[in-house]
Amino acid sequence: MLISLLTALLVTHPRLDASATPRGAAPATTWAWPLTGTPVVDRPFEPPRTTYGAGHRGVDLRAPAGAAVRAAGAGRVTYVGVLAGRGVVTVTHVGGLRTTYEPVAASVGLGEAVSMGARLGTVTTGHASCRLGTTCLHWGLLRGAAYLDPLSLLGQTRIRLLPLGPGSVVGRAVPGSPPARSALAGRPPETSRGLASARSPSHPTGSGPSVLVAAGSTVAAAVGTGLALGRRRRTGDSAREPRAPGGRFGA
């Protein structure tokens, strides 16, 4: 009787999948940098505003050519190949996340299971968004077709960015912060250029309002003087040519 009951329970109870993750919960996966040590972030994640819009779908990590590229987490290699002339490796992880690595000379094969920190290959040259004369690893993260910030895997709230120098792009947003919006955004290009060219580099920014107020006061004073002179002339004319009571100058 007991054996029959246990058999019935095993048949009717849904199978438990070790890879299943509760909806909305993060998979219990440990993550690490895909390079040895803590690399410098040459360019952070910049999500595009539209599906095909401009942006930076990943992070660029400074690394010399030949540096070992390692799996950021345990998973299985689901792509090894060349895209746009660059070697790419993709690892699919528990929960459906995928990490991508490029440009890489791969040392793993398609379908190979890898642990966190396992060697995937080495960094090669050819990634266009690296700073001039440098090499870097482009590390990406996807869930389905959506690009995510790879640094979120590491719980990064502050990242180590390179100081500004020749060829630097000013105003890059730190991951997690909203993109900065210029006060000139949305204006026609001609208007924006006109406003920019109207600013004189010889005057500090803080003196702009004072100069405008002073100029306005001068114009107002000149207009007032002209009106006063006009009144005097017309008053003289009215003495020679009397007007009816209640006229413009008679009240």
Q: How far is CA 35 from CA 32, 62, 106, 119, in A?
A: 8, 9, 14, 10
Is the separation of the CB atoms in 32 and 117 below 8 Å? Answer: yes
> What is the pLDDT, as a whole number, of residue 202?
37
What are the mean pLDDT values of the chain's consecutive 10-residue runs (251 residues total)? 42 32 46 94 83 79 94 98 94 96 96 98 81 83 92 70 43 37 34 37 40 41 47 44 37 34
> What is the pLDDT, as a whole number, of residue 29?
64
Phi and psi, residue 228, nearest 5°:
-65, -45
> What is the pLDDT, as a whole number, of residue 132?
64
> Domain 28-154 sits in which CATH superfamily?
Glucose Permease (Domain IIA) (2.70.70.10)
Phi and psi, residue 19, nearest 5°:
-90, -5
Token readout for 3 is 């054996």
> What is the pLDDT, as a whole number, of residue 129?
65
> What is the pLDDT, as a whole number, of residue 144?
92
- Tell me how crowded residue 238 is: count the other CB atoms within 10 A of its CB: 14
> What is the pLDDT, as a whole number, of residue 84?
87
> What is the pLDDT, as a whole number, of residue 246?
38
Domain layout of the chain by residue ranges: 28-154, 210-251
> What is the pLDDT, as a whole number, of residue 155?
87
